[in-house]
Amino acid sequence: MTDLLSRRSASSTQRVSRWTPSSAVGTSAGAVLIVALAALPYLINLATIYAMIDLFVLLILASTWNLLAGFGGMVSVGQQAYIGLGAYSLVTLADLLGVNVFLAIPIAAIVSALVAIPVSYLAFRLVGGYFAVGTWVIAEVFRLVTIQIPQVGGGAGVSISAMSGFPRDLRIAVGYWVALVCVVVVVGSCVLLVRSRFGLALTALRDDPTAAATSGVNVDASKRLVYLISAAGAGVAGTLIAISTLRVQPSGVYDVQWSAFMIFMVVIGGVGTLEGPIIGAVIFWLLKQALAEYGSAYLIGLGILGVLFVLFARRGIWGLVSRRGRVDLFPVGYRLRLPDQTRRKQ
């Protein structure tokens, strides 16, 4: 009897949908938010605008580190290698080679991804904790190599003159819009990536690499591609840091503290989801704004918070939100319209 019913329903086409009510609301809200953010420089003071660029950098870092660690299972402590590479690529392209500074951003992202190819063959020889330490060492090598290059200021760093054509207020506003475009492109790409065919492989890989392989997913190739994509993302973050601070120093851009921030944001937000890193970045940014005056005590506070989340809320804030069942703010899933549900609607 049940067999007969299910056979009949099978003949109806188009039974799988990608959208859910929550993802329709979430994606529309996201679109409205982007428009509102674009208008922001006309509405609020420049100091806040400046702080917003910092938020966008954090959003990019959290989202791309999450792709790497949350989906790819590769806990890297060395993504600052690509933050630095992105920042220095921008300086080189814009100031030394005279490339348009806005065009230099995507080129710097591509440079980061290209450099990540040979690095991946080195780093992927290690797994788990060894991979983490190995990536940190690689980032240190990047820093040490940069110090040896006098054309970009060696250990002292270099100032950027490509943005000096703008008056100060406009420069900050332009920096803001550029950062907004970058964050929309990077986070949007993460959403499209997870929604795509490759995202299906990536999500399977996140949950069980062995079963993913026996289901036909090329695990190694998928991991490598994720590594390249997140290197490009970190490179974009580096270019934004360079454009907004107007100065690039090896000790700043190659600081392992970036990795600590990325881990913190993704862990408290919710690892392995698209929504988690966004929430984590916003929370981290708010804490940074509110507690910055307490100096190192604020870092201790962040550390304690991170430990509490790891112990008691391993799936982060987004995990608490969706603990009664998966909630997607982006249309990345697949849902089957069951026969009884369709009937109820008619």
Cα gap 265→283, rounded to integer Å = 8
Task: Determine how many CB atoms are found less than 10 A away from the CB of residue 279.
Answer: 20
To another protein, the closest distance from the beta carbon of 319 in angstroms equals 10
Report the nearest approach of another protein to the CB of residue 263 (Å).
20
CA distance 27 to 108: 29
Q: Which is nearer to another protein, 74 or 231 (CB)?
A: 74
User: Applying CB under 8 A, which part among 8-16, 46-54, 56-64, 257-265 lies near another protein?
Assistant: 8-16
- Minimum CB–partner distance for residue 259 and another protein (Å): 25
Distance, CA of 317 to CA of 275 (rounded, Å): 10
Six token digits for residue 121: 């063959």
* For another protein, the closer CB: 31 or 326: 326
Rounded Cα–Cα distance for residues 123 and 131 (Å): 6
222 SS3 class: helix
Is 7 a binding residue for another protein by CB under 8 A? The answer is: yes
Binding-site size, another protein (CB under 8 A):
34
Interface with another protein (CB under 8 A), residue from 204, 241, 262, 279:
204
Alpha carbon distance 225, 234 (integer Å): 14
Footprint of another protein on 262-301 (CB under 8 A): 272
CA 203 to CA 25: how far, in whole Å? 23
Report the alpha-carbon distance of residue 19 to residue 151 in Å, rounded.
51
Looking at residues 214 to 233 of the shown chain, list those that interact with another protein (rule: CB under 8 A).
214-219
Q: Which of 138, 142, 137 is nearest to 87 (CA)?
A: 142
- Choosing from 141, 147, 203, 305, the residue that interacts with another protein (CB under 8 A) is 203
Q: What is the pattern of x (binds another protein, CB under 8 A) and - over residues 12-41?
A: -xxxx-------------------------
Instruction: Determine if 211 is a binding residue for another protein (CB under 8 A).
Output: yes
DSSP-assigned states of every residue in 250-275: HHHHT-THHHHHHHHHHHHH-TTSSH
Smallest gap from Cβ 26 to another protein, in A, equals 18
Residues 6+ apart with CB under 8 A from 190: 63, 64, 66, 67, 274
Shortest spacing between CB 342 and another protein, in angstroms: 13
Contact yes or no for 236/60 (Cβ under 8 A): yes
Alpha carbon distance 66, 100 (integer Å): 31
Residues 139-178: x/- map of binding to another protein (CB under 8 A)?
----------------------------------------
CB of 8 to another protein, least distance (A): 11
Among 200, 246, 260, 287, binds another protein (CB under 8 A): 200
Q: Cα 236 to the chain's mean position, in Å?
A: 10
Whole-number minimum distance, CB 215 to another protein, in Å?
Answer: 4
Instruction: Please report, as ranges, the residues that interact with another protein according to CB under 8 A.
Output: 2, 6-7, 10, 13-16, 197, 200-201, 203-204, 206-208, 210-219, 272, 325-326, 333-336, 338
